Structure 1
Amino acid sequence: RSSNAEVERLQKELQERTVQIQAMSNKFSNLKEEKKHIQIMADLQKENFRLEELVSELQQRLAKKTELSTEMKNEINDLQLRITDEDLKFKQFQMEHNDLLGKLALLRHTEQQTQVLIEHLQIRVLYVPV
């Protein structure tokens, strides 16, 4: 009987130890999962920080490009105003040029008529009977 009692006691102890080992195994497994979870969270935080820095850098670059774009648009507007002004001046000079060409043609015609008149007068003066 004492050997049966001893076997039962050992079986009971074995069963208790199996439960303890299982509990420790579960606890160890949970610790490994928790450690894995902590590592994943740390990796995610690092990635979030990196992405936040990237977003900040991209926002700065966008701000610079927007500023440059605004400056270029202003410069384009200024140049367009200058072109319009220069175009008006050119048209005015062109009109003055055409006016002067017309006056020059009129003067040449008048000069030609005067020359013909002078020649007529010279011929009359030369052939005037004395």
Structure 2
Amino acid sequence: MAVTYFTEDHEWVRVENGVATVGITDHAQDQLGDLVFVQLPDVGQSLSKGDAAVVVESVKAASDVYAPVDGEVTEVNEAAASDPALVNSSATGDGWLWKMKLSDTNQLAGLLDEAAYKAIVG
């Protein structure tokens, strides 16, 4: 069963069988506004927790999306890159950004659950 975690930087991480799917939260896409560009990481790229992994640009601003945990990128969502509005319409669903194989599952303990994240964003 998949478990979803959140970061204070507004990323979500859904973990299933040692693979983490990462995206931005609905709150984040709402704050950014209409996305016009998504730059994804390279498959095979190693990321460390806190690394800037993705750049998203909206009509208002550009923002980095950070790796919430250590791991290796195994897949990217080309649909989100070719249609950035997908992230706006389905931030926690079809608008996911990348998948990664976790290097250290213990890092998940430092992330937020949904209730803690909702308390932060109000």
TM-score, length of structure 2 as denominator length: 0.12
Choose 1 or 2 for highest CA Rg: 1
Select the structure that is richer in helix. 1
Where relative contact order (Cα < 8 A, 6+ residues apart) is larger, the structure is 2
Select the structure that is richer in strand. 2
